[in-house]
């Protein structure tokens, strides 16, 4: 139920002013951080929160366009369902409430959101099939695939692991069924579908999904579509839908009117010159650690993988923890008061030595693999300084990353 969902508790906001405040805070945090570091060139290239929102709106458009044009490379009849597109749109809008486009390029976040939405909504698509739809060379597609897979966890964290999205399509179907069953004033409820779909498409270019319940969005879509066909559903809403709870009618009517105003304000004409100018400034102030087109990004990813590889490994054949093994390895075996060694401790120490040796051997093998992966990644994505992957570390002749 939407009323008890994480979407209602964490991602449905009071008004547009609250959304504006959150976006402004994200923008100011990033700007202050970059101005204090002084490493990002001309401060005039930094974007305002309003300019960031313009880019987010543009990438919501691009997201929905990409999804509408998506085709399975093995069967062109398979297209991306509208509910996947809607979930991805929600993810993108949520992500940039708390993050700046200067920290994470919306193009990369967009594709990660779409691919994540495919998984959540059980629309199976492999990463290879997904990037097949991404324009560019084979190298560009491969880079995009790596970027998406590297960014999935971070994107999920930024969404607070709230991945279920309630959409207006189910309440929409309920309204159409109810109109057919209980309202004689409308002859053909199915005739509303075309106008309803157009309304919902425009609606997702606004902040309405972050402000109103799915049922309110659906009612706004149905009443607007009926008006376009010369029908009036006021009597249905007042005399049938809310006959038993008239006290809830006034807030609902107010919400529906506000939703319609938001949709009416959507500008279908895109100022391409304005978008191009913002994109140019964005490229000058984008965080290189989150930009897959930069060397710093791939070096940082290699460092993250190397750090993961350095976590201690435990043999699956026993449940002795690593701290205990290290103590037994480094310290002398405890002896009793009479100077004799406890046989049980001797046996445990023997296991510790074997387990520690296995641990070190496994760690060494993983470092070999990690170093090779760094070099392969560097060659694959055009990173030239592969030997400087880790600060304070070098790659020796045996392809093992060691500390200087």
Q: Which residues touch 84 (CB under 8 Å, ≥6 apart)?
A: 67, 114, 117, 118, 121, 123
What confidence score (pLDDT) does residue 368 get? Answer: 52
pTM as predicted = 0.75
CB neighbours of residue 233 within 10 Å: 22
Per the structure block, which two tokens stand in for 209?
């999904």
Q: What would be the CATH architecture of the domain defined by 169-264? A: Orthogonal Bundle (1.10)
Strand partners, 71: 79
Whether 169-264 and 2-165+271-283 are alike in CATH topology: the answer is: yes
Per the structure block, which two tokens stand in for 132?
């097949």
Give 43: exposed, middle or buried? Use CB within 10 Å, 0-12, 13-18, 19+: exposed
Q: Are 163 and 156 spatial neighbours (Cβ–Cβ below 8 Å)?
A: yes
Q: What is the pLDDT of residues 349-358, one digit of tens each?
A: 444 444 444 4
- Domains of the chain: which residue ranges? 2-165+271-283, 169-264, 294-403
DSSP state at residue 241: I
Q: Which residues touch 125 (CB under 8 Å, ≥6 apart)?
A: 72, 115, 118
CATH number listed for the domain at residues 2-165+271-283: 1.10.472.10
Q: Are 85 and 203 spatial neighbours (Cβ–Cβ below 8 Å)?
A: no
Closest CA to 399 of 382, 383, 386, 385: 386
Q: What is the pLDDT of residues 268-302, one digit of tens each?
A: 767 889 999 999 999 888 888 887 777 777 787 77
Q: With the C-alpha atoms ordered 147, 153, 158, 161, is the resulting torsion angle positive or negative?
A: positive
DSSP state at residue 335: B
The size of the chain, in residues, is 404
What confidence score (pLDDT) does residue 257 get? Answer: 95
Q: Are 123 and 85 spatial neighbours (Cβ–Cβ below 8 Å)?
A: no
Q: What is the pLDDT of residues 308-344, one digit of tens each?
A: 555 444 433 334 444 444 444 444 344 444 444 455 4
Q: Are 400 and 364 spatial neighbours (Cβ–Cβ below 8 Å)?
A: yes
Per the structure block, which two tokens stand in for 92?
């993108």
**CA of residue 35 relative to chain centroid, distance:** 27
Q: Does 375 score more than 70 pLDDT?
A: no
């Amino acid at each position: 139920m939407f009323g008890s969902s994480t979407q209602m508790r964490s991602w449905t906001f009071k008004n547009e002013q609250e959304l504006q405040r959150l976006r402004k805070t994200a923008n100011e945090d990033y700007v202050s951080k970059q101005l204090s570091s002084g490493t990002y060139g001309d401060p005039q290239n930094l974007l305002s929160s309003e300019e960031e929102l313009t880019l987010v709106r543009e990438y919501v458009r691009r997201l929905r366009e990409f999804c509408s044009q998506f085709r399975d490379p093995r069967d062109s009849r398979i297209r991306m369902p509208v509910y996947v597109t809607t979930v991805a749109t929600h993810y993108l809008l949520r992500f940039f409430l708390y993050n700046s486009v200067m920290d994470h390029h919306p193009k990369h976040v967009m594709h990660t959101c779409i691919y994540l939405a495919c998984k959540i909504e059980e629309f199976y698509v492999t990463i290879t099939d997904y990037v097949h739809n991404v324009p560019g060379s084979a190298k560009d597609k491969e880079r995009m695939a790596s970027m998406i897979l590297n960014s999935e966890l971070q994107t999920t964290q930024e969404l607070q692991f709230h991945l279920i999205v309630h959409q207006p399509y189910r309440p929409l179907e309920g309204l159409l069924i109810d109109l057919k069953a209980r309202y004689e004033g409308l002859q053909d409820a199915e005739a509303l579908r075309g106008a309803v779909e157009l309304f919902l498409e425009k609606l997702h270019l606004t902040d309405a999904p972050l402000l109103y319940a799915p049922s309110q969005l659906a009612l706004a879509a149905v009443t607007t579509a009926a008006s376009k066909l010369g029908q009036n559903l006021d009597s249905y809403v007042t005399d049938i839908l809310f006959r038993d709870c008239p006290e809830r009618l006034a807030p609902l009517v107010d919400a529906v009117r506000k939703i319609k105003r938001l949709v009416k304000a959507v500008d279908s004409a895109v100022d391409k010159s304005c978008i191009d100018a913002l994109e140019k400034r964005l490229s000058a102030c984008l965080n290189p650690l989150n930009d897959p087109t930069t060397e710093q990004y791939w070096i940082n990813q290699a460092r993250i993988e190397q750090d993961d590889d350095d976590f201690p490994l435990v043999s699956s054949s026993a449940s002795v923890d690593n701290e205990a093994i290290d103590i037994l390895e480094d310290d002398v075996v405890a002896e009793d008061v009479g100077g004799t060694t406890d046989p049980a401790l001797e046996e445990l120490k023997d296991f510790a030595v074997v387990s520690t040796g296995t641990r070190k051997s496994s760690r060494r093998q993983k470092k070999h693999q990690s170093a090779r992966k760094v070099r392969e990644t560097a060659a694959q994505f055009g990173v030239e300084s592969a030997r400087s992957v880790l600060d304070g570390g070098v790659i020796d002749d045996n392809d093992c990353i060691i500390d200087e």
